[in-house]
Amino acid sequence: MTPTLLRVALPVPLPGLFDYLPPEGETAADCRPGARVLVPFGKGERIGVIVALHRDPGVAAERLKPVHRVLDTAPLLDSSHLDFLQWVAGYYHHWPGEVVCSALPLRLRKRPDVLPVAVAGVALAVGPTEALAQIPKRAARQRELIEALAEAGEGRLSRQWLLEQSPGCSGTLRRLAEKGLIAPCELEPESTRYAPRAPAYALNAEQAVAVSELSSTLGGFAPFLLQGVTGSGKTEVYLQLVEQVLARGESAMVLVPEISLTPQLRRRFVERLGGEVALLHSGLNDSERERTWQRVRLGLVRVVLGTRSTVLYPVDRLGLVIVDEEHDASFKQQEGFRYSARDLAVVRARRAGCPVVLGSATPSFETLHNVASGRYRHLRLNQRAGGASPPDIRLLDVRDQPLRSGISDPLMKALRDTLAAGEQAMVFLNRRGFAPVLACYDCGWVSDCPRCDARQTVHRAAGLLWCHHCGLQRPIPHRCPECGSANLHPLGQGTERIEQVLTEAFPGVPLIRVDRDATARKGSLQGLLDQVHASEAALLVGTQMLAKGHHFPRVTLVGVLDADGGLFSADYRAPERMAQLMLQVAGRAGRGERPGRVLIQTRYPDHPLLQTLVKAGYDAFAAAAMAERQEAHWPPFSHQALLRAQATRQERPTAFLQALTEALAPLPAGVELWGPVPAPMARRQGRYRAHLLVQAERREPLHALLDRLMAVAPELPEARGVRWSLDVDPVDTL
């Protein structure tokens, strides 16, 4: 049967796909799935993607509109990728149009034109002899450029390449163009050639096992956990594997957490692989992102290093997927289309028929569970590759210690000794700002956020009270808004206060604060890091940004100020996160020749999980904490979906969720609904919030119920005025 209709994915928050007729004068068979189309939608036009051609006798064709224009002559997404995206939409129960369109860079979603993949080049406009005759003898740089062009094939070179070879030659190029001797041109895109260099050392035994196990699976699906302590040489294993993938003419996708040193990692990849490595992260502008996306899609570059969204992008001949720091929370999108890039990496590899490596020093419990149940293979690197010894981790009992702005005397002394020895120290506190709350000592007023069930944090340098949940800011008051007293005090501490305390305690020692505020203020993180690397004694103060991926060989002491929050949180994942963060911070110490020491301040030195972590390490900790989860039937021993509802009227979210609960009864066997309950932060940004948790031992009945839920919920009268969203495999319950 010849198709007559186009099924189009549109980036709109609506269920389903949309049928259109082919453009006037064309037949549906002329259109290709995976190409973009410009279609009439509502009062305007939208860009969408054809996902299928079909013939649907159920629809009256005269009610359908033709697409205005097909935008791409060749499809941007192939049929297997379109299948993958639709599977993803089904799994997350998210609007398929938005999911399909999220595989395109923003520019292609918004603009009907496409950047050429061609490279901007420079060409000789006249013969080389004639050109040289017109250049004065002393203009050496102009002559050199003409000679370089004359030697290049067809008298053309990439502009980018020229600028890299002789930085500052843009002026010379301009002068030559003014004389009419050269002109801009477009070069055919070239695929990158790789010339891998051998590492400067031999792999150790554990690395060699990992590389050989992994490489024996190339060409077929195989999921692995590569568990290696920080500095154990995981990256080297990745590099050798990528090298083999390149030799097979395939591409490798490397996913990294959001706050990590992607430029640094990329440099290491480029140096070892001897070729281009595409970088996709949130800092790119739209056209850079589109150009990179196109090059990866077309296989012009075969190694792509990117954050979360990269997992949705098309890659030519995918042969390997790596997820570095797989436990990192930033792999889960926390709003809108709430997918897990780590989980999708595994799905993607299965569909592509290639291995996937989940790397971490502190694997997520989900991944450990997959190892225990035999689904993933387990590779371990237990030794630090460079021979550095592991850090010595101790608990500092601060129950009876006077704290100076959160820092105990023994920690202060350890800092002093470290600095006196010409070494560096790091103080870690996962709270930015000066203090978490401003309080009036006369009447008890505290800096509550007027829109949230939360406090506004004191940001002293900026002079602001700032809510970290809704972003609301106001100037720090000089007098109590309630009683007018000037007896206002910041309580508790954030990184900004620690910075101040340590600056006073150690005048003259370079101190660098790394957190979201500090890096926004001072420009790039890289500049700060260069300062540290150039110093002897130095202090680093920061939030989890400090813990991720950085390499500070001179740091020999790490102080952790707030380990306790993770032990008593309402969130069952808090201990897992606490342990991962602790060990990650610990991994920053002693990576050079000198051993490192970690001091963890706590008021609960006898807490069994904390004791296990410090004395027996992460594996023992994970076993104990996972046993607790199994007991309680929490993930990874069950599957969950969280329905979040919010409204400006207080009673509505709960009423909606209650009505939904009743509409879904009776529940299929093995599925439970918990709630509705008020969200842990019951009011945020002026909206009241409630949750309904869906939990099941097995995925199938859970997803069957979610299908029904998605059909029933929008039809409920109680849904009016309520914003709701479904989070499949939620990682936080806020």
Residue numbers of the site for ligand ADP (CB under 6 A)? Answer: 201, 203-204, 207, 228, 230-236, 385-386
Contact status: 467 vs Zn ion (CB under 5 A) = yes
The amino acid at residue 296 is: V
Task: State in angstroms the smallest separation of the CB of 252 from ligand ADP.
Answer: 16
Of 52, 127, 121, 57, nearest to 83 (Cα)?
Answer: 52
Contact status: 474 vs Zn ion (CB under 5 A) = no
Burial code (b: 16+ CB inside 10 Å, e: under 16) for 644-681 equals bbbbeeeebbbbbbbbbbeebeeeeeebebebbebbee
Task: State in angstroms the smallest separation of the CB of 723 from Zn ion.
Answer: 17
Q: Name residue, tokens 């030794």.
A: 383
Task: State in angstroms the smallest separation of the CB of 208 from ligand ADP.
Answer: 9
DSSP states of 427-439 as a string? EE-S--SSBSEEE
Measure the CA–CA gap between 556 and 559, rounded to whole angstroms: 10
Nearer of residues 217 and 235 to ligand ADP, judged by Cβ = 235
Residue 345 interface partner, choices Zn ion, ligand ADP, none, CB cut-off 5-8 Å depending on type? none
Measure the CA–CA gap between 467 and 685, rounded to whole angstroms: 10
Give, as ranges, the residues between 198 and 237 that touch Zn ion (CB under 5 A).
none
Residue 385 interface partner, choices ligand ADP, Zn ion, none, CB cut-off 5-8 Å depending on type? ligand ADP
Residue of 134, 334, 485, 630 that binds Zn ion (CB under 5 A) = 485
Give the strands of the sheet with 318-324, arranged side by side.
278-280, 303-306, 251-255, 318-324, 355-360, 222-228, 377-381
Contact status: 451 vs Zn ion (CB under 5 A) = yes
Nearer of residues 232 and 307 to ligand ADP, judged by Cβ = 232
Nearer of residues 232 and 646 to ligand ADP, judged by Cβ = 232
Task: State in angstroms the smallest separation of the CB of 13 from ligand ADP.
Answer: 40
Cβ atoms of 39 and 46 within 8 Å: the answer is: yes
CA 630 to chain centre: 29
Task: State in angstroms the smallest separation of the CB of 565 from ligand ADP.
Answer: 26
Task: State in angstroms the smallest separation of the CB of 431 from Zn ion.
Answer: 16
For helices 79-92 and 341-352, the axis angle rounded to 10 degrees is 140
Nearer of residues 300 and 437 to Zn ion, judged by Cβ = 437
- What are the distances in angstroms from CA 724 to CA 358, 654, 657, 660, 688? 32, 11, 10, 12, 12
Q: What are phi and psi of 322, to 5 degrees?
A: -120, 135
Nearer of residues 175 and 378 to ligand ADP, judged by Cβ = 378
Cβ atoms of 712 and 660 within 8 Å: the answer is: yes
Of 88, 64, 635, 607, nearest to 351 (Cα)?
Answer: 88
Its sign, for the CA torsion 707, 712, 714, 718, is negative
Measure the CA–CA gap between 300 and 26, rounded to whole angstroms: 32
Q: Name residue, tokens 């061609």.
A: 118
Residue 33 interface partner, choices ligand ADP, Zn ion, none, CB cut-off 5-8 Å depending on type? none
Residue 223 interface partner, choices ligand ADP, Zn ion, none, CB cut-off 5-8 Å depending on type? none
Nearer of residues 159 and 234 to ligand ADP, judged by Cβ = 234
Contact status: 488 vs Zn ion (CB under 5 A) = no
Task: State in angstroms the smallest separation of the CB of 197 from ligand ADP.
Answer: 13
Given the DSSP bridges, would you call strands 278-280 and 36-41 parallel, antiparallel or unpaired? unpaired
Length of the chain: 734
Nearer of residues 385 and 407 to ligand ADP, judged by Cβ = 385
Residue 236 interface partner, choices Zn ion, ligand ADP, none, CB cut-off 5-8 Å depending on type? ligand ADP
- β strands within 467-532, DSSP E: 473-475, 488-491, 511-514
Residue 201 interface partner, choices Zn ion, ligand ADP, none, CB cut-off 5-8 Å depending on type? ligand ADP
Task: State in angstroms the smallest separation of the CB of 546 from ligand ADP.
Answer: 16
Find the part of the chain contacting Zn ion (CB under 5 A) among 10-18, 479-487, 571-579, 686-694: 479-487
Cβ atoms of 19 and 3 within 8 Å: the answer is: no
Find the part of the chain contacting Zn ion (CB under 5 A) among 167-175, 466-474, 544-552, 722-730: 466-474
CA 212 to chain centre: 29
Task: State in angstroms the smallest separation of the CB of 551 from ligand ADP.
Answer: 7
Nearer of residues 385 and 435 to ligand ADP, judged by Cβ = 385
Task: Report the interface residues with Zn ion, using CB under 5 A.
Answer: 440, 442-443, 445, 449, 451-452, 467, 469-470, 472, 480, 482-483, 485
